[in-house]
Amino acid sequence: MLDRIREKLNILADAAKYDVSCSSSGGTRKNTNKGLGDSHTSGICHTYTEDGRCVSLLKILLTNHCIYDCLFCVSRKSNDVKRAAFTVDEVVELTMNFYRRNYIEGLFLSSGIFKNADFTMERLLLVVKKLRLEQNYNGYIHLKTIPGPAMN
């Protein structure tokens, strides 16, 4: 079980490193409900490795499966790469565990599109909802929105 999570982490953190829009500044979220953590517009340290990853955030894809085939993208369906997908609960648990251990200051979450945009966006939002409302997590979240989901 742990080995499978580790394997998913390797695949989905590696796939996420190509997204360079990684910055942990710009948001303030005060801890007011005895939850865990604060985020500030400043004071959050973000360090970039030489290959572009921001190491203070858990930077992952929910999945690198994708129904589309954008030529520039490493997750395009025609690309012959290892595929994986986290469950919603796996992302929540990883984020909380890493945050408590002080490995990260926040979560950067994006995703390939599996099934359709609605299905994928629902799962991304469920991660955020569980972190904020069930875990009282007040740390930083950078959530990429999926183009094309229904607005209602």
**Residues making contact with ligand SF4 (CB under 6 A):** 66, 68, 70, 73, 75-76, 112-113
Q: How far is the CB of 31 from ligand SF4 (least distance, A)?
A: 33
Choice between 64 and 95, CB closer to ligand SF4 = 64
Round to whole Å and give the CA distance between 128 and 122: 10
Give the residue with the Cβ less far from ligand SF4, 98 or 114: 114
The distance of closest approach from Cβ of residue 18 to ligand SF4 in the complex, given in angstroms and rounded to an integer, is: 9
| Burial 97-131, CB ≥16 within 10 A → b, else e | ebbeeeebbbbbbbbbbbeebeebbebbebbbebb
Q: Which residue has the tokens 């629902």?
A: 122
44/53 with CB nearer ligand SF4: 53
Helix (H, G, I), strand (E, B) or coil at 103: coil
Nearest one of 91, 89, 85 to 8, comparing CA atoms = 85
Nearer to ligand SF4, 70 or 81 (CB): 70
**Smallest distance from the beta carbon of 105 to ligand SF4, in angstroms?**
25
